[in-house]
Amino acid sequence: MFKGWIATGALALCCMAAPLAETQQKPVDAEGHQWWQHAVFYEVYPRSFADSNNDGIGDLNGIASKMDYLKDLGVDAVWITPCFPSPQVDFGYDVSNYEAIDPMYGTMKDFDHLVAEAKKRNIRVLMDFVVNHSSDQHKWFQDSKSSKTAEHRDWYIWRDGKGNEPPNNWLSTFGLSAWKLDPKTNQYYYHYFYPEQPDLNWRNPAVEKAMLDVTRFWYKRGVAGFRLDAVDTLFEDPKLTDNPVLPGKDKFGRPNMDEKYNKKLPEVHDVMRKLRSTADEYGSVLIGETWTSNVSELKDYYGEKNDELQMPMDLMMTGFKGLSADQYRKHIGAVDAAGHWPVYVITNHDIVRSYTRYADGVHNDDIAKMMAALYLTLRGTVVMYYGEEIGMENNDPKSKDEVQDPIGKLGWPLEKGRDGERTPMQWNDSANAGFSKVKPWLPVPATYETHNVVSEQKDGNSVLSFYRQLLALRHKEPALLEGNYVALNESDPNVLTYVRRYKDEAILVVLNMSATEQKAQFDLSPLGFSSPRLSILLTSFHKPLTGMTDALPMEPYSVFMAKISPTSAGK
């Protein structure tokens, strides 16, 4: 089946050529792709990345000091979760001023410095735009609640109660009723998240204008785009129809609800289009926090005329239980066939870390490498989460009094909150994993002694070394950048196999998603390769590949990637 094997030599990192401003709206390849289609995005949670002033909390100068690390890893764009002034009730997702930097993270000068340091290395900086709600400490809300006739009254959603009850049965995702009574004017305001996060009224044109202006403010400062927070909840039914109550209770003990009247209303798409046309004025890119239940919903976020989000994240894969080649194959096939540019994610600051979710206690690092190879070799863009590349695991609070995230306080012990996936980046094996000289705001897990940047840089078989090689290939290989996704062996329950194909270039990716060794066989002749030659690009094998006959021995949870070339001139 295979003609021969050639191991390839060292992998070179690709370099972008032209200066940033010039390339921003220009295609970067013959296919007309934009820069973000070739980019690797990396989410930074600023509280936890690097603490430059040793107060236990990460900051912008900390991030700026790690730009060489990010460049070397193969990152092209960083999305920084909110670093605006905030009372930190939801750790920055409660913004009290959209056009400033929280002193805890630094100054506007530090922000400009960060953007400049990034730019020197051809790395773009994206911010997080909390579109659904502000903090209750924002001056807009302070004015809004001051009287029924205040200038900003209608910037939020105020309604009379029903007797002593809230206006309807809508629930806050972080608590009980989504309505809070304000005694001053004896009306309720609506908050889908915490009461300290009142929902903005996007039906008010003044809100829309102010928010679009916020994006312009940052684009002018060199921000390359935004990740849009919680877009599903931008609109509510103006008639306040009760949501249908479903059988059963959720983990907070509340009745299950079909949130049809306060989530994913069609008006959301009007706002996406407006945010997009504003982004287009500056050649910027929009990533969406798009929680969808199927591929069709995900498709909608690109816009009927491709005029909404360039990068709605496919967050569906993060909900898959266990590792099933079949489940991933079906999902990837459907996303890929949907006709848009996919955006894959395996973890973020709201979800248990991928390392922990997939770990089996035996092959943890192998699984981390396998999942990396899975989502980093697909057609599309990826959004990584800091620490994923070193195999960081969750470090959940051990008792309720350790919990910082209010969700954990509310839902303990069934819901421990999101602290576990937000712990400090593990830079080395010194105290606090080298994140800070003082006790950090969240504790690092014990595994920092082995899973940290410095130790893993020295180990050619570490998760980090694997990510670096993978990202280098992803930047260099035309088949990975441009190629179609072609599934092979579609009935194999254990091994996920596919080819990325672009013109004469083809790369075979073989992933053993099972805990036992598998013999992989594949027929490449339908792709026009009757007697192919495979040159190994990357594997995660522990043992050298020897004694190959007609099947490829795949170690448990292993990765095999090879370039396919025809042996003869005929293709």
With CB under 5 to 8 Å by kind, the binding choice for 130 among Ca ion, ligand GLC, none is ligand GLC
CB of 229 to ligand GLC, least distance (A): 5
Sheet with 179-182, strands from edge to edge, namely 158-159, 187-190, 179-182
Assess contact for 41 and 77: CB atoms under 8 A. Answer: yes
Residue number with CB closer to Ca ion (53 or 404): 53
| CA–CA distances in Å: residue 309 to residues 159, 231, 279, 396 | 32, 11, 10, 33
Residue 379's nearest CA partner among 404, 349, 344, 350 is 344
Peptide bond into 183 cis (omega under 30): no
DSSP characters over 56-71: SS--HHHHHHTHHHHH
Residue number with CB closer to ligand GLC (290 or 469): 290
With CB under 5 to 8 Å by kind, the binding choice for 230 among Ca ion, ligand GLC, none is ligand GLC
With CB under 5 to 8 Å by kind, the binding choice for 57 among Ca ion, ligand GLC, none is Ca ion
With CB under 5 to 8 Å by kind, the binding choice for 250 among Ca ion, ligand GLC, none is none
CB of 59 to Ca ion, least distance (A): 4
The one catalytic residue in 31, 165, 258, 281 is 281
DSSP 257: E
Q: Which residues contact 437 (CB under 8 A, 6 or more apart)?
A: 51, 54, 431
Which residues are at the interface with Ca ion (CB under 5 A)? 51, 53, 55, 57, 59
The span from the CA of 525 to the CA of 70, in Å, is: 40
Residue number with CB closer to ligand GLC (234 or 295): 234
CB of 350 to ligand GLC, least distance (A): 5
CA angle 252, 257, 263 (to 5 degrees): 110
Residue number with CB closer to Ca ion (141 or 441): 441
CB of 365 to ligand GLC, least distance (A): 27
DSSP 361: S
Per the listing, tokens 């040159």 go with 535
Which residues are at the interface with ligand GLC (CB under 6 A)? 90, 93, 130, 193, 229-230, 289, 349-350
With CB under 5 to 8 Å by kind, the binding choice for 53 among ligand GLC, Ca ion, none is Ca ion
Phi/psi-derived region of residue 407, left when phi > 0, alpha when psi is between -120 and 50, beta in every other case: alpha
CB of 114 to Ca ion, least distance (A): 14
CB of 337 to Ca ion, least distance (A): 46
Q: Which residues contact 431 (CB under 8 A, 6 or more apart)?
A: 437
Report the residue closest to Ca ion, judged by CB. 59
Catalytic status, residue 229: yes
Sign for the CA dihedral angle at 357, 363, 365, 366 comes to: negative
With CB under 5 to 8 Å by kind, the binding choice for 93 among ligand GLC, Ca ion, none is ligand GLC
Helix axes 267-281, 205-220, angle to 10 degrees: 30
With CB under 5 to 8 Å by kind, the binding choice for 289 among Ca ion, ligand GLC, none is ligand GLC
Residue number with CB closer to ligand GLC (313 or 561): 313
Q: Contacts from 161-168 at CB under 8 Å and sequence distance 24+?
A: 161/187, 161/188, 167/240, 168/240, 168/241, 168/242, 168/243
CB of 408 to ligand GLC, least distance (A): 12
Residue number with CB closer to ligand GLC (350 or 402): 350
Assess contact for 383 and 313: CB atoms under 8 A. Answer: yes
Catalytic status, residue 492: no
Residue number with CB closer to Ca ion (406 or 424): 424
The one catalytic residue in 43, 59, 229, 314 is 229
Residue number with CB closer to ligand GLC (425 or 472): 425
| Strand-pair category, 5-7 with 532-539 | parallel
CB of 432 to Ca ion, least distance (A): 12
The span from the CA of 290 to the CA of 313, in Å, is: 6
The span from the CA of 536 to the CA of 517, in Å, is: 19
With CB under 5 to 8 Å by kind, the binding choice for 193 among Ca ion, ligand GLC, none is ligand GLC
The alpha-helical segments, DSSP class H, found in 27-107 are 35-38, 60-65, 67-73
Residues noted as catalytic: 229, 281
